[in-house]
Amino acid sequence: KYPSHAAEVAAGYYNTNGVDGYGKLADTFAKRGQAMVDFTCLEMTDASQPPYADCGPQELVAQVQSATLHAGLSFTGENALSFYSAAGYNQMLTYKPPIGGVSSVTYLRISDELLEPGPLALFADFCKRMADPGFVTPFGIVGA
């Protein structure tokens, strides 16, 4: 959200002042042939970030997903953090079709805590809803 996009500029690419840095990357990948873009932080929300961070993970995922799909590439995703709550799974579901364009998800950081009965039941439900083409999450925003 911060206008300078300092982390991106420090990483070596320009994604500010109206320049779509992710669009340029996706177009470059598309010109090279078959490719897919895998992006992280699908479980994160803008509202869960501290105000001083001035960041927008939902906006960032939406930008990368849009650029990827516009370039004709597959968009896949993963979680950035360990989590075992319905809120994180519900956020990841907002990126599945028909609202989003994620074609697959990798769940990172499987742990003993995830394998406990309560968290495992939530994870199993998430997997079922992610795989069900008829399931449309009520948490997505059409056109976002």
- Two tokens at 137? 């999450």
pLDDT at 32: 87
The tens digit of pLDDT for each residue in 9-33 reads: 777 776 777 778 889 999 999 998 8
The tens digit of pLDDT for each residue in 88-108 reads: 999 999 999 888 889 999 999
Residue type, 124: A
CA atoms within 13 A on the CB side of 110: 6
Distance CA 126, CA 45 (A): 17
Q: Which SS3 state, helix, strand or coil, does residue 73 take?
A: coil
| Cα end-to-end span (Å), the chain | 16
Distance CA 94, CA 136 (A): 8
Asked whether residue 66 carries a pLDDT value surpassing 70, the answer given is: yes
Query: pLDDT band for position 1 (50/70/90)?
Result: low
Q: Buried (b) or exposed (e) across 112-121, using 16+ Cβ within 10 A?
A: eeeeeeebee
- In which residue are the tokens 């803008």 written? 46
